[in-house]
Structure 1
Amino acid sequence: MRIDPVSLRLFVAVMEEGTIAAAAEREHLAPAAVSRRLSELESAVGTALFQRSNKGVQATAAAHALLGLARGVLHGLSDITEQMAGFGAGLRGHVRLSANISAITQFLPEDLRTFLGRAPQVQVHLQERISTQVARAVADSTADIGILNAGDYGQALQQIPYRTDELVVVVPRGHALSRRRPLRFTEVLAHDIVGLHQGSALNDLLHRGAAETGLPLKLRMQVTSYDALCLMVDAGLGIGVLPRGSARLYLPALKIRAVDLAEPWSLRRLVLAVRSLEALSPAARMLVEHLRAVEDVAAG
């Protein structure tokens, strides 16, 4: 028995939705039809993908192994359709881009504007994630290209230089640190800090920096965005650390100042992550080359 794309699509839907009923509703099919397709797929691959009970279905280890493969196959088939359809009218396609907040707030708006000006028939689907999730999305084939902080994420990914960002300390105007340039992190640690949410690269970086000094990190609150961080600092609820380019967006509207941070780790490298350059669609390769060229210009 052959494995067909419809069965793979329904399998992925069940894995993502968690139940056959929810997957059936998403795909506009009867639950019995979805269940039958899953049984046929299990026969085709020769192993059980779900454990069934009166409480529903539970994915097996084989199902989790198949999920990434199925997504890759479905995406490849979608690429074939789109690329063949686009030959008559120039390059077409869509690119799934996953990026962290630093890249999105500092660099991507202008970089994507210039790219789409050159390739207006390419659709770029952008999703914000933290760096660890970006790496996982690329490895699992749910994103074609990732932009994240350079590092080892336990995934076999190609990392290509993109940009460098610089961390600064954001303080209220008139704060004791507002006229100190540059600051050491030990000075920052003497004050209450407004940080980003747990799991973010910047949150981890602050914890590591504090551990190196042997001083406690006095996180007064944690937020999920740079604008929320700057608003809390503006309200006098603490000081924060964020990329210079991101802070620049909020300085004119708020009563805050950005102060240089004199630590080796205040300079961070952002990279492009892909599973394989050779395996990318023409549209995705075109975007990678554009972003690489932008990096070369910025570095020059």
Structure 2
Amino acid sequence: MRYELTDLRLFLAIAEAQNLSAGAAAVHITASAASYRLKNLEQAMHTPLFVRAARGMELTPAGETLLAHVRELFVNIERMHGEVGRFSAGLKGHIRLLANSSSLNGFVTRAVSRFLIANPDINIELEERASHTVLPSIVAQEADVGICAGTVESADMRVLRYAVDELVVVTPPGHALAGPDPIRFVAALDCDFVSINRSTSNFQFLRETAQRAGKHPNVRLHAHDFDAVLSLVADGVGVALVPRSVASEALARGSIAAARLDEPWARRELQLIAPPADRLPGFTETFIQFLVNDPRVVATRGDVLSACG
């Protein structure tokens, strides 16, 4: 079985254009040369790849199967060129990480900072994503590692338990909601809120959860980050729904208080998603183990609620 990468690139172009001449033009060869290369590819595969129909070139079942593999092949080739090309810029590694807002602000950013300091030859591209988009993005190879909240099942990806957190309603000290007994979330919805910006998964969760309770949260201000939200709460502007991990330092200082929530969704299981180790560069696997074994997240994987009290 002998064929060239050019043959596969031509096959992809014809499949996408559903036309031999258009496919040939896309890879800058003549139609006659394209016809010759396609015939050789079909002979190498021992099966027809297209049916010549009135509407143009239609894939056979074998062609459909080949198309899926060829698309994945070229994605991997582009990724290979990008990663190898970084060596010319003096970089030895590049990792793309997606994380939902709770994990990003509560755990991930600090761990990434320590990893980068310890590994000066590695760069990390970090992006916030809503939890439900993380697994599909890793499967589609848009990123190398993902962290999200909730239950995740995948036959192709590793799913590692990362951390356990809880959502709480933070309030100014002495607020009526802040007491020893957990509250239902609907009780907080009568209060004014502050939140981070509208595009974040944290605000989207606040809005959707309130809507399920038949309410609309009165958000007085959308701040640029959680630190600003906590400062506004401390000043008495409103209350906020945040992960306890984000609020832990302010709670320890006493600048804010917290109301535990008697809601099943308040406990947040955070999962790390990644391809199998044999499909990743060694430095990416090292990064994954660094995240999973970070003492701060390891400490949460017991009974986080009793530990945080």
The TM-score, its normalising length taken from structure 1, stands at 0.63
- Which residue of 58, 64, 79 corresponds with 1:75? 79
Q: In 2 relative to 1, CA 298–235 (structure 1 residues): closer, same or farther, beyond 3 Å?
A: closer
| d(CA) in 2 for partners of 1:222, 1:38 | 54
Contact 2:101 2:201 in 1 (8 A): no
What is residue 192 of structure 2 aligned with on the other side?
Answer: 192
Determine what percentage of the aligned residue pairs are the same residue. 25
- Note if 1:299 corresponds to 2:301: yes
Residue 181 of structure 1 contacts residue 260 of structure 1 at CA under 8 Å; is this kept in 2?
yes
2:278 counterpart SS class: coil
Residue 27 of structure 2 aligns to a residue whose secondary structure is: helix
Q: For residues 28 and 254 of structure 2, what CA distance do their matches in structure 1 show?
A: 57
Q: CA deviation at 1:106?
A: 1.8
Residue in structure 1 matched with residue 242 of structure 2 by the alignment = 242
* Aligned twin of 2:233: 233
| Structure with the greater alpha carbon radius of gyration | 2
Partner amino acid, structure 2, of 1:74: E
Post-superposition Cα deviations, 1:243-280, rounded to whole Å, max 9, x if no partner, equal: 11212355589953223223222110111112443311
2:76 alignment partner AA: G
Unaligned stretches of 5+ in structure 2?
Answer: 14-22, 39-48, 51-66, 303-309
Question: Deviation at 1:284?
Answer: 0.8
Residues 68 and 173 of structure 1: is their aligned pair in 2 closer, same or farther, counting only changes over 3 Å?
A: farther
CA gap of 1:230–1:116, structure 2 versus 1, over 3 A, is closer
Secondary structure (helix, strand or coil) at the match of 1:170 reads strand
Q: CA deviation at 1:228?
A: 4.0
Structure 2 CA distance for partners of 1:228 and 1:69, relative to 1, 3 Å: farther
Deviates more, 1:177-186 or 1:142-151: 177-186
Is the 8 Å Cα contact of residues 207 and 217 (structure 2) preserved in structure 1?
A: no
Q: 1:264 to 1:290 in 2, by over 3 A?
A: same
Instruction: Please name the residue that 1:257 is paired with.
Output: 257
Q: Which moved more, 1:148-157 or 1:132-141?
A: 148-157
Tell me by how many angstroms 1:282 deviates.
1.0
Distance 2:121 2:134 in 1: 25
Structure 1 residue 163: Cα displacement: 0.9
Distance 2:252 2:191 in 1: 24
- Give, in whole Å, the separation in 2 of the partners of 1:201 and 1:175: 26
The residue matched to 2:202 in structure 1 has which SS? Answer: helix
2:171 pairs with 1:171: yes
- Structure 1 spans left out of the alignment, 5+ residues: 12-35, 48-62, 86-90
Q: Which residue pairs with 1:220 in the alignment?
A: 219
1:273 match: 273
Q: Give the letter aligned to residue 260 of structure 2.
A: D
Report if the CA contact (8 A) 1:231-1:254 is conserved.
Answer: no
TM-score by length of 2: 0.62
Q: For the Cα contact (< 8 Å) 2:194–2:240, is it kept in 1?
A: yes
1:232 is displaced (CA, Å) by: 4.1
Pairwise mapping of residues 1-300 of structure 1 onto structure 2 (< 5 A)? 3=5, 39-40=26-27, 70-79=74-83, 92-116=92-116, 119-151=119-151, 157-179=157-179, 181-197=181-197, 200-206=200-206, 209-210=209-210, 214-221=213-220, 223=222, 225-250=225-250, 256-294=256-294, 295-296=297-298, 298-299=300-301
Q: State the one-letter code of the partner of 2:215.
A: P
CA contact (8 A) 2:152 2:271 kept: no
CA positional deviation for 1:95 = 1.4
